[in-house]
Amino acid sequence: MSTVSNKPEGVDAEVWDRMLRATPAEARRIIRSGAFQAPTSGLCPGYAQANLIVLPKEQAYDFLLFAQRNPKPCPLLEVTEVGAREATICATDCDIATDFPKYRIYRHGELVEETTDVAAYWRDDFVSFVIGCSFSFESELVEAGIEMRHNTMGRNVSMYLTDIDCMPAGSMGGKMVMSMRPIPHDQVVKAVQISGAIPKVHGAPMHIGDPAAIGVRDIAHPEFGDPVDIREGEVPVFWACGVTPQSIVMNSKPEFAITHAPGCMLITDTKNIDLKE
Amino acid sequence: MSTVSNKPEGVDAEVWDRMLRATPAEARRIIRSGAFQAPTSGLCPGYAQANLIVLPKEQAYDFLLFAQRNPKPCPLLEVTEVGAREATICATDCDIATDFPKYRIYRHGELVEETTDVAAYWRDDFVSFVIGCSFSFESELVEAGIEMRHNTMGRNVSMYLTDIDCMPAGSMGGKMVMSMRPIPHDQVVKAVQISGAIPKVHGAPMHIGDPAAIGVRDIAHPEFGDPVDIREGEVPVFWACGVTPQSIVMNSKPEFAITHAPGCMLITDTKNIDLKE
């Protein structure tokens, strides 16, 4: 399967070459070693990638209910046992504290640090929410002949903070984050149908067309990730995004939270096709 | 839409006639009055019906996680705020303590009472889990020309305690309950495809054929509901069932739990077609 991905800036060419040929388990070990600290879009095509939010048990019920009420931005692939650092359902030999290329630390809703390893922060009362990612349907879109502009430009996908409210749950609430891909107008319906067939990884788009209709003020300046070119005849298509929990954390201000850095995902052992059940 | 349902035994003919013509809100009011205490299969076709489990907040996180890990038997339509008796997402003007035709009370995993109103038992620390029901796809199966034998016999659907383990979560675990419908062999594929298109109400079957393969010992004696005739050329088809939480309660023995009585469901305002998103 061709992913038509170009090397992200700053990544060592030899490491990139190993990542392109790696199994998910091998990719996690390379990431764990610290050798790869970049966005993971296009890697291990056919396997699900995942977003992360780690919260103290005290906030876990509210967030679990938030995810139940907001399955489009927060499709849960796995919720770990309290205190466990290992994922066991979506992957094996998987350390949640080291196997994402980059993490963000939030204290009372403020982003205080970006780091490549959160083992030093781990606590016995942490619960990890592993959330499906739109990169899962990207490989199918590419297979169907739809260019993923951020991959061909060697960039992170564009993500926007919209003015669409999530349904709140207890202490958790806020606006939805959406990822955007420019799609030629004659491929939009195909993109809806292909992504819609995988509801466990965000499913069909939330919005097609005018960015202003969902409160996106400046398409050239995404709140997360990188801008990409939108060419003549292309339509911006927006999907619910697993960075939404970071918007929720910023709004709801839990005492402490760890997330992945946008675009820098966990590569799981779960095949996308098994998410279609 | 024809439901080809016959009046359940013991139901007043005039009440049955009103139920057959009722909107979901009207049906809930008739049930709230105590006039209808029977299975709800076939009523208000096109609208989702729902299973129930009510637990103290102390067990709510474990059960919410159990439902997340077992979406086939426990597809959540709504989880209420702590202490609230009203459903607000799947219906309006809906009192969870009165709008099911019949309830079951469990203490430490023992079924201690069956009753038509649980208002007297309500506590400030209760959380209600409203769970999708296979009756949602029954109206589509009937539309597609597939007979629902329990409806034409005026009986409750057959439900079996299988030996298939659910994935446990904290204090919650146990075997899966499945509903069974006999389907002519040349309609089985159609039944899989139609039900599979609505994953939020149990989705595709768990098993087709030999009851022994899933630990069903005696097809003529279901653990819940009524037996139905299986005719020459028909195949028993098994779907994950929202009575599974009652199996979990019997196994996990929470201090207190309220469930619906099998087959006696909440009729919601949610259209089945809106569960296909």
Tens digits of per-residue pLDDT, B221-244?
999 999 999 999 999 999 999 999
pLDDT value at A2 more than 60: no
pLDDT score recorded for residue B1: 38
Which of B55, B59, B61 is best to mutate for the A interface (most A CBs within 10 A)?
Answer: B61
Distance between first and last Cα of chain B? 22
The SS3 call for residue B242 is coil
CATH architecture for residues A13-133+248-275: 3-Layer(aba) Sandwich (3.40)
Residue B66's closest chain A neighbor by CA? A79
The CATH H-level (homologous superfamily) assignment of domain A135-244 is PSTPO5379-like domain (3.30.2040.10)
Q: What pLDDT was estimated at residue A207?
A: 97
Asked if A64 lies within 8 A of B69 by C-beta distance, the reply is no
Question: B69 and A89 in contact by Cβ < 8 A?
Answer: yes
How far A61 CA lies from chain B's nearest CA (Å)?
6
Please indicate if any CB of chain B lies within 8 Å of the CB of A60: yes
Contact B260, B95 (CB under 8 A): no
- Cβ burial, residue B15 (10 Å; 0-12/13-18/19+): middle
Distance from CA of B232 to the nearest CA of A (A): 31
Name which of B65, B81, B203 is nearest A79 (Cβ-Cβ). Answer: B65
Q: Is B199 touching A (CB cutoff 8 A)?
A: yes
Considering only the C-alpha atoms of chain A, give the largest distance between any 2 of them, rounded to a whole number of Å.
52
A192 touches chain B (CB under 8 A): no
Could you read off the pLDDT of A92-148 as tens digits, one per residue?
A: 999 999 999 999 999 999 999 999 999 999 999 999 999 999 988 898 899 999 999
Say if A13-133+248-275 and A135-244 have the same CATH topology.
no
What H or E segment, with its residue span, contains residue A247? helix A244-252
Cross-chain CB nearest to A61 (options B64, B67, B203): B64
Q: Is B161 on the interface with A (CB under 8 A)?
A: no
Q: Is the pLDDT of residue A88 over 60?
A: yes
Flag if B65 and A76 touch (Cβ within 8 Å). no
Query: So what's the ipTM on this one?
Result: 0.84
**A89: closest chain B residue by CA:** B69
* DSSP letter, residue B1: -
- B68, B76, B203 ranked by CB distance to A79: nearest: B68
Residue in A65, A81, A89 closest to B79 by CB? A65
> Does A68 touch chain B if contact means CB atoms closer than 8 Å?
yes
A69 with B60: Cβ contact below 8 A = no
Residues A140-150: tens digit of each pLDDT = 899 999 999 99
Residues in A closer than 8 angstroms to B65, CB to CB, are 64, 79
B168–A contact, CB cutoff 8 A: no
CB contact under 8 A, A68 and B79: yes
Pairs of residues, one from chain A and one from chain B, whose beta carbons lie less than 8 Å apart: 34
Is residue A201 within 8 A of residue A136, CB to CB? The reply is yes
What backbone torsions phi and psi does residue A39 show, to the nearest 5 degrees? -60, 150
Answer yes or no: are the C-beta atoms of A240 and A206 closer than 8 Å.
yes
Q: Which residues of B touch A60 (CB under 8 A)?
A: 61
- Tokens 């169907």 appear where? A144
pLDDT at A247 over 90: yes
Residues of A in contact with B61 (CB under 8 A): 60-61, 64
- pLDDT score recorded for residue B6: 82
Any A CB within 8 A of B20 CB: no
Burial call B139-159: b when 16+ CB within 10 Å, e when fewer: bbbbeeebbbbbbeebbbbbb
pLDDT band at A6 (very low <50, low <70, confident <90, very high): confident
A276 CB neighbours in chain B (<8 A) are none
Cα(A143)–Cα(B53) distance, integer angstroms:
44
B10: closest CA of chain A, how far (Å): 39
- Which candidate in A58, A63, A66, A68 is best for mutational testing of the B interface (most B CBs within 10 A)? A68
Could you confirm whether domain B13-133+249-276 is CATH 3.40.50.2000?
Answer: no
B14 Cβ contact partners less than 8 Å away, ≥ 6 residues apart:
none
B90 to chain A: nearest residue by CA? Answer: A69
Interval A171-203: pLDDT, tens: 999 999 999 999 999 999 999 999 998 888 889
Q: Which residues of A249-267 are buried (b: 16+ CB within 10 A; e: fewer)?
A: bbebebebbbbbbbbbbbb
User: Domain boundaries in chain A?
Assistant: 13-133+248-275, 135-244
Mean pLDDT of residues grouped by 10 in chain B (277 residues)? 68 95 97 95 92 97 97 96 95 97 98 97 98 90 94 94 97 97 96 90 93 96 96 97 96 97 96 84
Q: Does B61 touch chain A (CB under 8 A)?
A: yes
Nearest CA in chain A to B196: A277
Degrees, nearest 5: CA angle B188-B73-B126: 150
State how far residue B238 is from chain A, nearest Cα, in angstroms.
16
What is the pLDDT of chain A when averaged over all its residues?
94
Query: Cβ contact (<8 Å) for B204 and A60?
Result: no
The answer, for A76 touching chain B at a CB cutoff of 8 Å, is: yes
**Looking at chain B from residue 79 to 138, which residues have their Cβ under 8 Å from any Cβ of chain A?**
79, 81, 89
Q: Burial level of A134, CB count in 10 A (0-12/13-18/19+)?
A: buried
Cα nearest neighbour of B78 on chain A? A69
Does the distance separating the beta carbons of A65 and B65 come in below 8 Å? no
Nearest CA in chain B to A202: B277
Q: Residue A121: which residues within 8 A CB-CB, separation 6 or more?
A: A97, A105, A258
